[in-house]
Copies of this chain bind each other. A is one copy, B any other.
Amino acid sequence: MTKKIRIGLVGYGNIGKGVELALEKFPDMEGIAVFTRRNPEELDSKFKAVSLDDILDYKDQIDCLILCGGSATDLPEQGPNLAKNFSTIDSYDNHNNIPHYFEDMDAAAKNGNQVSIISVGWDPGLFSVNRAILESVLPGGETYTFWGKGLSQGHSDAIRRISGVKFGVQYTIPMESSLEKVRSGVNPELSTREKHERVCYVVEKENADRQLIEKTIKTMPDYFEPYNTTVHFIDEKTFKKDHNKMPHGGFVIRTATSANNNKQKAEFQLQLESNAEFTSSILVAYARAAYRFKTDGKTGAFSVLDVPPAYLSAKTSEQLRKELL
């Protein structure tokens, strides 16, 4: 039997738990341990739980670490530290800071002869792959990205921080009329307000002021002010029944006009009942690619744009050419 690719998880939140579940569907890979800053005994993982302080003891037992922490504080610190000693996959998604994060990870990974693939997921991730391929094969057009309908974690958190809010979620919804305009090939210029709307469901605390909550949401700069925002107040029972999932999705659309004025359109769509489970599954597939890059003798940081599709698959190149080409 071929040796399995040995995976370590760093962090055990939504994504860590998702990676643990996803690994069951990747028979060529196995989870070795979860590394945590918490007390390992408190973790209910089927993998061995180990203190993050002891991770270097596992250097020879892990082919690739999947970093399951967040982009705000976890990854900027953990990433470069771990990349010196392990190959890593992460879902760093702070778009503006990607070039800087890439440099840090590249230096660390090269320093330790490791491979790091950063910003893996669906956006950044599969959507980036589609933006890059479609822009290249259909030059002279426009690319549009729409997100949703989906639950935005950041916006939901922002609602929950408002005084008087007991529970709250926010759904990002692409404007159907703008989607249709884009698909028609007229290459419209769309304002932020024209691309997405935001719909919130809120359970207020006893005696809270609904009007004040609604106004606080709708006028919140950056998060809600630039959008058409709707706020629904609902009871706790309805909230727990109807808003307990994390659906998401979106669209990358490229339209271009080729010679002789022919309209060409390509579109990539995702519709996910569980955002975290999909992101986790993508992370695991890219861990295969990191392992292969390392086998090829590569070192340093890479993004999804550097990964050949074949490197994501458990199949051999021969199989892929025969079955999927």
B269 and A273 within 8 A (CB): no
- Asked if A110 CB lies within 8 Å of chain B CBs, one says no
- Asked if A270 CB lies within 8 Å of chain B CBs, one says yes
- Asked if A140 CB lies within 8 Å of chain B CBs, one says yes
Enumerate chain B residues within 8 angstroms of A263, measured Cβ to Cβ.
Answer: 273
Enumerate chain B residues within 8 angstroms of A269, measured Cβ to Cβ.
Answer: 265-269
A277 to B139 Cα, complex, angstroms: 12
B128 and A285 within 8 A (CB): no
Known: A129-B309, A324-B135. A266 touches B258 (CB 8 A): no
Range for the number of chain A residues in contact with chain B: 35 or more
Residue A21 contacts which of B119, B258, B265, B273 (CB distance < 8 angstroms)?
A: B258
B310 and A308 within 8 A (CB): no
Please classify the interface of chain A as helix (H, G, I), strand (E, B), loop, or mixed, using the class held by over half of its residues.
helix
- Asked if A132 CB lies within 8 Å of chain B CBs, one says yes
- Asked if A282 CB lies within 8 Å of chain B CBs, one says yes
Enumerate chain B residues within 8 angstroms of A277, measured Cβ to Cβ.
Answer: 258-260, 262, 264
- Asked if A153 CB lies within 8 Å of chain B CBs, one says no
Within 8 A of B (CB), among A277-311: 277-278, 281-282, 285, 288, 303-310
A238 to chain B, nearest CB (A): 21
A266 to B126 Cα, complex, angstroms: 10
- Asked if A274 CB lies within 8 Å of chain B CBs, one says yes
B281 and A262 within 8 A (CB): no
Which of A258, A288, A318 has its CB near the most chain B CB atoms (within 10 A)? A258
- Asked if A231 CB lies within 8 Å of chain B CBs, one says no
Closest-by-CB residue of B relative to A121 is: B137
A14 to chain B, nearest CB (A): 12
A208 to chain B, nearest CB (A): 33
- Asked if A321 CB lies within 8 Å of chain B CBs, one says yes
Enumerate chain B residues within 8 angstroms of A119, measured Cβ to Cβ.
Answer: 325
Closest-by-CB residue of B relative to A124 is: B325
B132 and A309 within 8 A (CB): yes
Enumerate chain B residues within 8 angstroms of A304, measured Cβ to Cβ.
Answer: 309, 325
Enumerate chain B residues within 8 angstroms of A272, measured Cβ to Cβ.
Answer: 262, 264-265
B258 and A137 within 8 A (CB): no
